[in-house]
Structure 1
Amino acid sequence: MTILTRAFIHPIGRCEINAPRRASGYGKSVLRATLVLLTMAAMVVPVTANAQTDPVESVNTFIGTKDEGNTFPGASAPFGMAHSSPIGSHYAGWRYDDPVIRGFGHFFLSGAGCWEQGGLVSILPTTALPQSFDHRRYGVGYRHQGEVGKPGYYRVDLASGITAESTATTRTGVERFTFPPGSTPHVLVNVGQANDKEPVTGSSVRVVDDRTLAGTVTAQAFCGGKPYTTYFTTTFDRPFATTGNWGGAEGGAGLRGQWLTFAEGPVTAATAISHVDPAGATKNLAEARDQTFDDLRTATQALWRDELGSIEIETDNATDRTVFYTALYHVLLQPLTGNDVDGRYRGFDDKVHTAEGWTYYEYYSLWDTYRAHNQLLALLRPDRAKDVARSVLTIHEQGGWLPRWAYANQETNTMTGDPVTPFLVDLWRFGALEGREDQAYRALLQNATQVPDPKSPFEGRVGNPSYLENGFVQYDKDFPKKGQDVDPHHGASATLEYALADCALSVMAESLGHDEDADTLRRRALNYRTLWDDTVTDRGFTGFPRPKTADGRWLSPFTPQGQDGFHEGTAWQYQWLAHHDVPGLVERLGGKEKATARLDDFFAYPDLVANPAKTVREKWVVGPYDYYNQFRYNPNNEPDLHAPWMYALMGQPWKTSAVNRAAQTLFVDGPNGVTGNDDLGTMSAWYVFSALGLYPAVPGTGQFILHAPRFAKSVIHQQNGNPIIIAAEGADPRTLQYIESAQLDHVRHEKVWVDHHTLAGGTNLTYTLTATPGEATWATTPDSTPPSPCATT
C-alpha cells in the first residue's frame, strides 16, 4: 500500500495517487465492490421480511424524529459508542422534515434536550466538489420515498443520485455510497462542523495512507459543559485517487476537513472513534476491518435481534408491534459503551484506565433515567446492570463524587436533586451491586450528607446546608452554579427530590445494618412536608408544595401553576413526588376522597373516560418545553411520570389502568411518535412498562405496580432463564379496560403490586379484564396497596 506523506496536504490541495489496487485492509477486491454494486437493489429488501416474527423488522427508527423527540434515525449497535446517522439543520442532529442532509455523523445522543449532541466527523458523498466547504451550503436534498430506518441499518436516496447506507458496530459507524453510473465519486470528511449547535472549537485531519484518514474533533459537551476531544480513524474499502484538505491540517475553530476522489464506486467508509487517543480509534477499527458492509449489517442486526427478543408480545396489530419494539430499541441505545476494544477509557480524573473483564459505560442522564429506564435494563440484563453500577461507582473513585448528568468524562451538573441515589439504590435492590454494596453506600452517604469542595467540578447536593439544618433547599435564583443548573434555583423541586432520595437510601441503609443512618434518612424523607402550605388554594383544591427563601419565609407571590422554585414543572406536577409516603401525602391532600378527586382533575379523568385520545392530546399535551402555567399531567416530561400509579397506591387501581391506556395513544408509528424529548430512552422505557402492565413506581422498594396490560400475552425473557409471562386474554388497546381479577402463578392475587424477587424467579401473571369500571373491584381493599417505605405509623 502506498503511504502518503504530509507533503501533499495543503489548503484545497490536490495530489495524484497511483497505488495499485490489491486485496488489503477493509475491502478485498474490485470484484467484491462490483458484486456489491450489482446487488444494491437487493439491499433495499429487509434481511427478514416477516415483521410479525422479527423484532428488528418491527422497529421504525424514524419514530421520535419530530416534535422534539430528538431521536436519530441512523445506525447503531446496542449501547454503541459510535453511530452513523444523517445530520440536518436541527440542533439534535436531524429532524424528519429537514430539507437537506449535511453529512453522516458518527456520534449522537438519543432524545436529549440540550443543544450539543454530537454529529462529529461528518462524511458526505457527492458527484462534484463544492465551491464552498461549509456544510450549510453543500448539504444535499433527499427523498423519504425508499428511505429505510431499522436497527443497525439506514438507507436514503440523495438528490445527487447517490444512495447512502449506514450500519455500525459498537465502536464504528460505517457507510456505503453507491454513485450514479458515469459519475466521479467524491467524499467530503468534515471535522470542523457537526450538528447545527454543536460548537467545534478545534479539529485536525491527516492522511495516513491511500485508504485512511485520522484526526481529532474537540467539541462542546452537553448542556454547556467543557470541551472534550474525540479521536477518529476513517478507512475506505478502496484507495482514493486524489485528495486535498480545506482549512489546514489542524487548528482551532473553523471549516476544516478532507476531500477525496475515487476512480470508481461504490465506496464504503468505516469510522472508529475513541475518547482515549489516536491508537484507540485505530484499534477500534478492528470491529469493521476485513468485513463487507453486508456482513457488518447482518452481524449488528443479529445483536439487535437478540436484545429486542428479550421481550415477546402477542398482537396481530403491526402498528402496535412497531411502537412497542421501537420504544424498546430506544431504551437499548444507552448508556453508551465507553471503553475501547482494548478496555481503555478516559476517566473522570482525565487519566486513562482499563476495564478488564467488564464494560465501562458512560453518558448518564440520571434525572431522567432513574425513573424507569434504569429498572428496565436491570430487569432485562442484570449483567449489564452490574457494569452500569460499577461504571457509576468508578466515576466516584476517579472524580471524588457521584454524578448527576455525566457526559463522556465530565459532570455537566444538569438538572436538579439527587437522582444518582434512587438510581444506585434500585440497582442494589435488583442485585447489580453485589460485592460493592458497602462501597456504594459510602459514596451515597457522602453525597447525602456533604457538599463538594468549591474547586470540585461536581455540585452534588449543593442545597444540603439549608436542607440538613432547616429541612428544605432554599429558593435563590442568584445562587452561583458550576454548570447548567444548580439546586437553589429550583429549591422546591430540589427539596422533594432530596427527600425521595433520602427515603430510597434509608431502605438500603436498614438492609445493610446501618440502623441509625436509616432512622435519620427516614425522618429526612418527610422533609417534603416542610414545603407544604395548607393555605394555598387553586382550582378548588387546598394545600400545595411552596418554595421557601433562605430566611424560611414562603415565596411570595406564588401560584401553583407558576415556575418559581420548580424545575421543568409546577407545584401541580411536583405535588405527587412524595410517593414514598402515600399516607402522609393523602393526609395533606385532605384525605383519600379529596386526594383522588385532585388526581381526577389533574388527569381530566371524566373527559378521558369519554374520549381518551382526544383528551390526552388536547388537555395534557403542551409544547415539549412548555413546562409552566400548567395544572395537568405532563406526559412529555419526568417529574410526574409516576403519577398514573398514584391512583393504585391510593386504592383506585382501575383508574391507573384507564390513564395508562389513554397515555399510550400518544405513542404512534410516525416521526411524531414521541411527544417530547425521549431523554436517553426514558419516555420509551415508560411506554414499555406501561404496555406490559407493570411499573417500578417507588424507588428502592423493588415494587412493580400492576395495571391492565396492552397485549393479550407478553413474555419477558430474563437473563437467568426464568420467564415472566403476562397473559390477559381479550386485551384490546382500542378501548379502556380494567382488571377484574388476577392470578399470580395460578393463585388468586389481590395485591396491586408484585416485588422484584418474585419476578426474578420467573412467574405467571394472568388477568381477567373488563370494559366496565363497576366490575373492576380487584385490589381495592385496604391491604391491597404496598406499604410506603417512609410513611410514619
Structure 2
Amino acid sequence: MKKSYLPLILLSLSAFSGFAQKKPAEKLVPYVKPIIGTERMGHTYPGATVPFGMVQLSPETDSIGYELNGKYNPRVYEYCAGYQYEDKTITGFSHTHFSGTGHSDLGDFLVMPTVGAVKLNPGTADKPGSGYRSRYSHQNEVSEAGYYKAKLDDYNITAEMTASTRVGFHQYTFPKADDAHIVLDLTAGIYNYPDKNVWTYIRVVNDTLVTGYRQTNGWAKNRVLYFAMRFSKPIMSHGFRNESTKQVYRGFWGKFNQNKNFPEIAGQRIKAYFDFKTTGGEKVKIKMALSPVSMQGAINNMQAEVPGWDFDKVKAAAQQQWESELQKIVIQTPSKATKENFYTAVYHTLINPTIYMDTDGQYKGLDQNVHKANGFTNYTTFSLWDTYRALHPLFNIIDPQRNNDMVKSMLAHFDQSPEHMLPVWSNSGNENWCMSGYHSVSVVADAIIKGNAAGIDVNKALEACVTTARKRDYEGIGYYMDKGYIPDERNGVSVSSTLEYAYDDWCIAQLAKKLGKQDIYEEFSKRAQNYRNVYDKASGFMRPRLADGSFRPKFDPLTTIGQGFIEGNAWNYTLFAPHDPKGLIEIMGGSKRVVPYLDSLFTMHLPDKFFEETEDITRDGIIGNYVHGNEPSHHVAYLYNWTNQPWKTQERVRMILPKMYKPTPDGLGGNDDTGQMSAWFIFTNLGFYPVAPGSDEYSLGSPAIHSAVVQLPGGKTFTVTAKNQSDKNVYVQKVLLNGKPLDGLSIKHADIMNGGELVFFMGNKHK
C-alpha cells in the first residue's frame, strides 16, 4: 500500500518544491524617486501622497510672493510646486500641491514645528533665524512614494510625513524643550499675491482638535477647503495672530474659559500656534484631514481613513497602495537608471487627477452647491491641454475604471457649468480657463471609442461634446465656425486654437460615427479639416490669417511671442494635425519636403532671442527646435511613420529618452504637467504611442526596455519583448503580434486589451 502512494508523494513534493523556488515579485516602490523633477523646471514635489490622493503633504522651500516691489515677480514660476531642490531652507509643510504644472495655486494649511521663541513669519532664506523657517540638508532628507523625511537643523527636529487619500499624517521628533510649538499658517500659499486669501477661520474645539477653513481667490476664483487637525497629545496653550489687524490672542487650556481665551478666530489672514513641553526624542503627531464640503466632513474623513496613531502602519498602507499600482507594468531592463526613471514616471502619472469628495461621496460642485457622486468617484485637477495626449490614454489601458470615473466627473462638470461646457482646466469646483482647445472632448471620445463606457450615457456625452464645440462666444469658436479659422485680429493664439479645435472636432466626429449620428459625423468631419485653412503654402508654415482671408504679412516662424501660437512657434505647430498625418504631409509637399523639415526641427540652432522671449523657460526641454517640454511636440517624432523613412521615428524616440529623462533632481526636460511628460516616457519605452487619442490605433516606435508585462482588467496580460535590445540596436527589424508578422506600423487598442505578446526584433541598422 505504501508503494502505491509514492508517486503521489513525489508529485506533491515536486509541486511544493516548484512553488517554494518561485521568486516573489520584485518590490517596485524602491525605484520611485519623487525627488526627480524638483530642480529647475520639472515642478514636481517630493512629499507624501497616495495614488490620486486629495492630500499632497510636501515641504515648501520658500515663500515667493506674486509681487516684488509692486511688480510681478518672475520667480513665482519656479515655485509652482512650492519646492526647489537648490534651496537651503524649509518654511513648512503644506497639504495641497499640483504636480509638474506651469501655473499654480494651493499650498494650503502650512504646518511648521519649532522650539524657542514663537515666530509667526517665515523670515528670509538669507536670514533663516528671522522667522520660523529652518535650514536643512539633502543628506538628511528622504523622499519615497508615500513618505517624506527631513531634519530641521535649526530646531533639531526630525520631520516625517505620510498620507492617506484625505489625511496628511505628520510625525515630529522633538528635542527636550519647554517651549515646543506647532505653527499653523493660513496666510501661506503657492502663487500668493496680495488679497489672495478671502477669509480664514480657526476653531480650537478642545485640547487635541482644531478645525477651520480657508477661502481663496487665486487661479481658482472661489476655492474653499476645510480641515480638521488633531494632535496626539494635549495642547498646553495656544495663540492666534490676525495679520490684517496685527492683533494677538492667547488661550491657555489650564484655565480655559470660552469667553476670555478665544477658542476661535476669523479674518482674512490668520495664523495660529500651539504650545507643548516635550522630552528628548518625543514624537508629536498630527493628523490633518481635508474636506471640500465642511469641517465635519473633514472630521469624518479622518475617522474613516486614519482613526489611530500608528504612523508606520499608515506609511506601510500608503506604500502598499503605490506598490499595487506600480505592479501594473513590470519591466525588465539591466539598467537601474531606466527602472528609476520608469517607475518614477509611473508614480508621477498616478498623482493627478485628484479625488475630490468626502468619504461619503459629497463634494462642492462647479455651481458651488454640494453634490453627491452616485456610482462614481469624483475627480478634479484636469490639466486637459496636456493630459489628453497620453495620460488619459494610458489610464484606458492600465486603469480604465478610474478613467471612466474621470469622464463621469467631466460630465458632472458640464451639468453644473453655467456656460454648459465640458472642463478646460478645472480644479476644486472651479474652471480656470487655461490654455486653448476643448480637449475634454478628446478624453470623453477616446474612452467611449475604446469601449470604456460602462455607466456612461454615451448620447449625453456626445451632446456635451457638441454643445461645448458650438459655444460661439468662447475663445473664437464663432469665427472658427463661420470662417473655418480664427482671424489673427480676434485672438492672440489664433493659429494654435484653430489647429487644436480641428483635432477636437475630429474626436467628436469619431464618437458620432460610433454612435451612428451621421449628421454630427459629417459636420465635425468637415470642421476637422479646418487645420488646412491656416497653412500657407508660400511660406510652408501654419501662419496667422487675417479676417479678410490674407495671411499676416509680418511673420517670423521662429518667434514664440505674438505670432498666433501658444507654447510653441510656427515650426512646431505646422506639424500639429495628429488626426490627419497623411493629409498634413500631402499639403506640405509629401515625404520629400516633410522628412527634411522634421530632420531640421531636431538639429537646428535657435537664435538667442528665442530664449530671451521665453525667459529661458523653454531651454530645459529643447533639442534643436523640438520642444519636448511643451506638449504640442509630443507626437512629432512619430510622424516619420507616415513618410517614406519610418525608421527615423525609432531613431528619434531613442535619442529623446535619455536627453529628456534622467534619475536626478533636474532629470525632467520641462514641466511634468500633471503626468503628461511621464506618460510619454512610459508609452515610448513600451514601443508605441497614441498619436491621435480618439483613434483606436497606437503608432509603433522603438522600445527601450527588454520586456514589459502590462496587467489588464480581467486578469489578462499584454507582454512587450524586445529581442537583441541594446543602446545601439534602436532600429526595428520586424515585429510579431501573437506570433504573426505585423503588417504596418501600428497596433490597435483591442490588440492590447485582448492580451497577448508584441515582440520587436532590434538591430543597429535601419530597414
TM-score, scaled to structure 1: 0.83
1:692-716 per-residue CA deviation (whole Å, 9 max, x = no partner) reads: 1110111211211112211111011
**Alignment match of 1:295 (pick from 276, 292, 313):** 313
Q: Do structure 1's residue 102 and structure 2's residue 101 form an aligned pair?
A: no
The structural deviation recorded for 1:67 is 1.7
The structural deviation recorded for 1:499 is 0.6
**Distance in 1, Cα, partners of 2:293 & 2:389:** 31
**Distance in 2, Cα, partners of 1:190 & 1:629:** 39
1:540-595 per-residue CA deviation (whole Å, 9 max, x = no partner) reads: xxx11111133333223011112311011111111111132223211222121211
Aligned residue pair count: 684
Q: Do structure 1's residue 114 and structure 2's residue 103 form an aligned pair?
A: yes
**Higher mean C-alpha displacement, 644-653 vs 682-691:** 644-653
Other-structure match for 1:384: 402
Contact persistence 1:51–1:57 (CA under 8 A): no
Contact persistence 1:658–1:736 (CA under 8 A): no
**Alignment match of 2:355 (pick from 320, 330, 337):** 337
Contact persistence 1:73–1:149 (CA under 8 A): yes
**Distance in 2, Cα, partners of 1:765 & 1:672:** 33
Q: Do structure 1's residue 700 and structure 2's residue 694 form an aligned pair?
A: yes
Look up the SS of the partner of 1:714 in the other structure. strand
**Alignment map for 1:59-74 (pairs within 5 Å):** 59-74=32-47
Other-structure match for 1:467: 480
1:90-135 per-residue CA deviation (whole Å, 9 max, x = no partner) reads: 343111112211111001110111142x211111111223344346
**Alignment match of 1:534 (pick from 537, 542, 550):** 537
The structural deviation recorded for 1:183 is 6.5
Give the counterpart letter for 1:464 in structure 2: I
**Percentage identity across paired residues of the two chains:** 31
Q: Which runs of 5+ in 1 are unaligned?
A: 1-49, 453-458, 480-487, 537-542, 608-617, 777-793
The structural deviation recorded for 1:196 is 5.8
**Distance in 2, Cα, partners of 1:767 & 1:696:** 18
Contact persistence 2:43–2:672 (CA under 8 A): yes
Other-structure match for 2:493: 490
Give the counterpart letter for 1:632 in structure 2: N
Mark the CA change 1:267 to 1:214 in structure 2 (over 3 Å): closer, same or farther. same
1:134-177 per-residue CA deviation (whole Å, 9 max, x = no partner) reads: 46532111110031111100111111211111100000111100
Q: Do structure 1's residue 278 and structure 2's residue 295 form an aligned pair?
A: yes
**Distance in 1, Cα, partners of 2:288 & 2:34:** 21
The structural deviation recorded for 1:390 is 0.4
Other-structure match for 1:661: 654
1:601-643 per-residue CA deviation (whole Å, 9 max, x = no partner) reads: 11229x9xxxxxxxxxx9xx99434699997110101111100
TM-score, scaled to structure 2: 0.86
**Distance in 2, Cα, partners of 1:212 & 1:71:** 32
Give the counterpart letter for 1:269 in structure 2: I
Give the counterpart letter for 1:277 in structure 2: S
Look up the SS of the partner of 1:587 in the other structure. helix
**Distance in 1, Cα, partners of 2:300 & 2:763:** 58
Other-structure match for 2:20: none
1:27-59 per-residue CA deviation (whole Å, 9 max, x = no partner) reads: xxxxxxxxxxxxxxxxxxxxxxx9992111110
The structural deviation recorded for 1:255 is 5.0
**Distance in 2, Cα, partners of 1:70 & 1:629:** 17
**Alignment match of 1:258 (pick from 247, 263, 273):** 273
Q: Do structure 1's residue 156 and structure 2's residue 150 form an aligned pair?
A: yes
**Distance in 1, Cα, partners of 2:623 & 2:318:** 44
**Distance in 1, Cα, partners of 2:620 & 2:147:** 35
**Distance in 2, Cα, partners of 1:271 & 1:686:** 34
Other-structure match for 2:504: 501
**Distance in 1, Cα, partners of 2:328 & 2:623:** 38
Contact persistence 2:534–2:543 (CA under 8 A): yes
Mark the CA change 1:386 to 1:288 in structure 2 (over 3 Å): closer, same or farther. same
**Higher mean C-alpha displacement, 212-221 vs 228-237:** 212-221
**Distance in 1, Cα, partners of 2:166 & 2:118:** 30
**Distance in 1, Cα, partners of 2:120 & 2:428:** 33
Other-structure match for 2:132: 138
The structural deviation recorded for 1:719 is 2.1
The structural deviation recorded for 1:244 is 1.6
Contact persistence 1:193–1:200 (CA under 8 A): no
Mark the CA change 1:697 to 1:246 in structure 2 (over 3 Å): closer, same or farther. same
**Distance in 2, Cα, partners of 1:266 & 1:113:** 37
**Alignment map for 1:676-687 (pairs within 5 Å):** 676-687=670-681
Other-structure match for 2:441: 421
Contact persistence 2:181–2:273 (CA under 8 A): no
Other-structure match for 1:41: none
Other-structure match for 2:223: 228
Q: Which runs of 5+ in 2 are unaligned?
A: 1-22, 63-78, 125-130, 243-248, 250-263, 606-610
**Distance in 1, Cα, partners of 2:103 & 2:136:** 27
**Distance in 2, Cα, partners of 1:217 & 1:622:** 33
Other-structure match for 1:214: 211
**Alignment match of 2:468 (pick from 427, 447, 451):** 447
Contact persistence 1:96–1:671 (CA under 8 A): yes
Give the counterpart letter for 1:440 in structure 2: A
Contact persistence 1:569–1:628 (CA under 8 A): no
**Alignment map for 1:345-744 (pairs within 5 Å):** 345-399=363-417, 400-434=420-454, 435-451=456-472, 459=474, 462-476=475-489, 488-536=491-539, 543-562=540-559, 563=561, 564-604=563-603, 623-625=616-618, 632-665=625-658, 666-732=660-726, 734-735=727-728, 737-744=730-737
Give the counterpart letter for 1:316 in structure 2: P
Contact persistence 2:163–2:314 (CA under 8 A): yes
Look up the SS of the partner of 1:104 in the other structure. strand
Other-structure match for 1:610: none
Contact persistence 1:202–1:253 (CA under 8 A): yes
**Distance in 2, Cα, partners of 1:227 & 1:358:** 25
Mark the CA change 1:426 to 1:221 in structure 2 (over 3 Å): closer, same or farther. farther
